[in-house]
A and B are shown apart, each in its own frame.
Chain A
Amino acid sequence: MDIVKISFLAIMTALLYALIRHIKPEIAPLVVLGGAAVVLITMAESLLDVSDSVNDMMALSGIEKENVSVLMKSLGICVVTQFAADICYDNSCSSMAAAVELAGRLGAISLAMPMLKTVAELAIGLING
């Protein structure tokens, strides 16, 4: 991941957006979306590397892979949801943003459902002694 490249790309996208917004406002969001997509694609490789390193570290500390993977997936869901919601908010589409946020939360919770079940069972076990 080249942070200089990404920063330059982000600034250029923002300038382009500011320019196009006055000339052709209907295309302006697409410019932002395109810029963001390019940034995300640039980051993807580094994200995979980071994910592998985190997995290795967690394996060393003895944490089960399934738990780490649930946490990572939830993190991914939250990042994507926030990104989508922010774009919706930028385009004054708050209802869509709220829907995306709700979907994201639901997705993350449904992913963590087996874990919640385990915790609930543990709590019942604790109460029953």
Chain B
Amino acid sequence: MIFKKLICFCVTVVMILAVTVNAYGVNVDEYSENGLEAIGADKLSEYLSEDTKEYLEKLGCGDIDFEALLDVSPKSVFELLWNMLKGNMKEPLKALLKSTGTVLLVSTCMGFFPDDEKSKTVLNLICGCVTVICVFVPAFGSVRAAATSIGVCAAFEKALIPVLAGVVTASGNPTLALSFKGAAFAAAEFIEAFAANFALPLTGISAALGITGSMLPTLRLSAISEIIRKTVITSLGCVSGLFTAFLALKSVLASSADALVVKGVKTATSFIPVVGNSLGEAYTSVTAGLSLLKNTVGIYAVAALIVTVMPVVINLALWVFSMRVAVAVSDLLDCRVCSEILKNIAFVFSLANSILLLCTAVFIISSGLIVSVKTGG
């Protein structure tokens, strides 16, 4: 009897040892690193400038890592914003001082000829030139920085699209990946070309006409300048709205189509005897892992885009603020020529800022849409 029991025990031990497999817990960090390398996300940072990388490091998300992204505190965000504000404050404040000085000088000069229109016309021209040279020439770099930022964001977005599309395909949304890839790539290309070849040059033309018009009021160029401004603003709003709506609708439709396929796969696996349910669960685990990867990349991309444009946005906003203060000073001193020129300069900055923000918004929304879509339908 004891011998029989011993044999049974031995057979059971042998059976257990023969049929069991080793199971290891997944090392999340290693899994994440390997996944990022496989989809090419580790090369995304190459498209960012050194400043952007430094800001991301300060924020605590220098690397594409979901734990680092989770650890970002509001304090570090505010500290970074404050640093950006401090770093960009110097030039606009200097310009405010300069423009106030110019306004004082110009109004003093104009005070010599209260009734003499002939002398006033010539002095208007010269005072206008002085104002433009003293205030706008040093600030022109900021407008160029806006154009450069749009280019950098578009290049980054173009590098990001294949990465996100790859993860989305792997996680069971091939239709979404295909539609996103095409639409987002077109959006990035179009927005970059639209900003560089249409919006920014038109802003420049409008500003040039506005400034000339304020120096030579008899030419009445302000009407044309106003039409151009309205055209730029309306077309910008339309383009960004259309693209966002187009991407959103396409994503919803594509993810619905993918959800149908996924449901089919899950139903099919459930028919497999014994391991059907386990396979379904395994599939869910894989998609959950890929979802984490996709969201990590997507959120890193959104953070990188925001950090790329934020210094320029803050700089342009400070320029707008300083120019508006200068306009108030010139209105106070009844210096019409300076007031008009400064208003035009403020308009250039504010429109450049709007263009930059709208372009970035399209890029962020297109990345955000992919992040928000539920993986595996």
Please give the residue numbers on chain A whose beta carbons come within 8 Å of chain B beta carbons, in ascending order: 54, 57-58, 60-64, 67-68, 70-71, 74-75, 78-79, 81-82, 101, 104-105, 108-109, 111-112, 115-116, 118-119, 122-123, 125-129
Among B102, B122, B212: residue with most chain A CB under 10 A: B122
For the A-B complex with A63-B98, A115-B129 known, give 18 more contacts whose Cβ atoms are closer than 8 Å.
Answer: A58-B101, A61-B97, A63-B105, A64-B134, A68-B130, A70-B126, A74-B122, A79-B112, A82-B113, A108-B126, A109-B122, A116-B129, A118-B137, A122-B208, A125-B204, A126-B203, A126-B207, A129-B200
Contact bitstring B338-365, A, C-beta under 8 A = 1, else 0: 0000000000100000000000000000
Q: How far is the CA of A24 from the CA of B269 in the complex (A)?
A: 124
On chain B, the residues within 8 Å of A78 by CB distance are 112-113, 119, 122-123
On chain B, the residues within 8 Å of A81 by CB distance are 119
Contact A75 B109 (CB under 8 A): yes
B122 to chain A, nearest CB (A): 5
B101 to chain A, nearest CB (A): 3
On chain A, the residues within 8 Å of B109 by CB distance are 71, 74-75
Q: How far is the CA of A38 from the CA of B8 in the complex (A)?
A: 134
Tier of interface size on chain B: 35 or more
Contact A67 B208 (CB under 8 A): no
A112 to chain B, nearest CB (A): 5
B90 to chain A, nearest CB (A): 11
Among B97, B133, B204, B212: residue with most chain A CB under 10 A: B133
Is B244 at the interface (CB under 8 A from chain A)?
A: no
Contact B211 A123 (CB under 8 A): yes
Q: 4 closest pairs, A vs B, by CB?
A: A61-B101, A126-B204, A123-B208, A115-B129
On chain A, the residues within 8 Å of B118 by CB distance are 101, 105
On chain B, the residues within 8 Å of A61 by CB distance are 97-98, 100-102
Q: Which residue of A lies closest to B121 (CB)?
A: A105
Q: How far is the CA of A71 from the CA of B108 in the complex (A)?
A: 11
On chain A, the residues within 8 Å of B94 by CB distance are 62
Contact A126 B123 (CB under 8 A): no
Please give the residue numbers on chain B whose beta carbons come within 8 Å of chain A beta carbons, in ascending order: 94, 97-98, 100-102, 104-106, 108-109, 112-113, 116, 118-119, 122-123, 125-130, 132-134, 136-137, 140, 143, 147, 196-197, 200-201, 203-205, 207-208, 211-212, 348
Q: Which residue of A lies closest to B135 (CB)?
A: A63
Q: How far is the CA of A112 from the CA of B109 in the complex (A)?
A: 15
Among A67, A116, A118, A119: residue with most chain B CB under 10 A: A119
19 contacts between A and B (CB under 8 A): A54-B108, A60-B101, A62-B97, A62-B98, A63-B98, A67-B134, A71-B106, A71-B130, A74-B123, A78-B113, A82-B113, A116-B125, A119-B128, A122-B208, A123-B208, A123-B212, A126-B205, A127-B208, A129-B147
Contact B137 A115 (CB under 8 A): no
On chain A, the residues within 8 Å of B147 by CB distance are 129
Q: Which residue of B lies closest to A66 (CB)?
A: B133
- Contact partner of A122 among B113, B140, B200, CB < 8 A? B140
On chain A, the residues within 8 Å of B207 by CB distance are 126
Q: How far is the CA of A129 from the CA of B348 in the complex (A)?
A: 12
Contact A119 B204 (CB under 8 A): no
A47 to chain B, nearest CB (A): 11
Q: How far is the CA of A112 from the CA of B122 in the complex (A)?
A: 10
Q: How far is the CA of A78 from the CA of B113 in the complex (A)?
A: 9
A101 to chain B, nearest CB (A): 6
Q: How far is the CA of A125 from the CA of B203 in the complex (A)?
A: 12
On chain B, the residues within 8 Å of A116 by CB distance are 125, 129
